[in-house]
Amino acid sequence: MKASPITRVINGFGLVLLFIIFAMPFVWMASTAFKSLGETLTFPPVWIPETLLWENFAQAWNSGPFLKYLSNSIIVTLFITPVDYPKSSSFQFMK
């Protein structure tokens, strides 16, 4: 049975609303990455920074052993994913 046009419109609005709800933290994170400390702490919040501060990324990179953390994450991902993925698939075959 086909859904009525009203149901399809309501479902479409619901999907758009869910997308906005799930996307907002990522948009906020990306926006905050380019802000100065003053813009980050202002109230009401500033969504779009006045100037894009690329220095924040350099400061984060140089503030600790970031390359070590990144390589550890890549190693764990490369070795754990090939092991866990077949495990989860085999559960379905055993049913």
The predicted-structure confidence for 49-74, as pLDDT tens digits, reads as follows 888 889 998 888 888 888 899 999 99
Q: What is the pLDDT of residue 31?
A: 92
**Residue that the structure tokens 């920074």 belong to:** 49
Instruction: Quote the number of domains for the chain.
Output: 2
Do 43 and 2 reside in the same domain of the chain?
yes
Find the helix packing angle between 66-94 and 55-62, rounded to 10°. Answer: 80
Considering the domain architecture, whether residues 46 and 70 belong to the same structural domain is answered as no
Q: What is the pLDDT of residue 62?
A: 86
Domain interval for residue 93: 64-95
Confidence of residue 27 (pLDDT cuts 50, 70, 90): very high
Predicted confidence at residue 63, as pLDDT, reads 85
Decide: helix, strand or coil at residue 95. coil
Q: How far apart are CA 57 and CA 53, in angstroms?
A: 8
Residue 15 has pLDDT above 90, yes or no: yes
Shared domain for 29 and 71, answered yes or no, is no
**Is 48 found in the same domain as 14?**
yes
73 and 31 in a common domain: no
The average pLDDT across 39-53 equals 87
Q: Report whether pLDDT(22) > 80.
A: yes
Residue 45 DSSP SS3: coil
1 and 40 together in one domain: yes
> Locate tokens 């109230």: which residue?
43
DSSP, collapsed to helix, strand or coil, labels residue 64 as coil
**Whole-number Å distance between alpha carbons of 42 and 87:** 48
Residue 95's pLDDT is 66
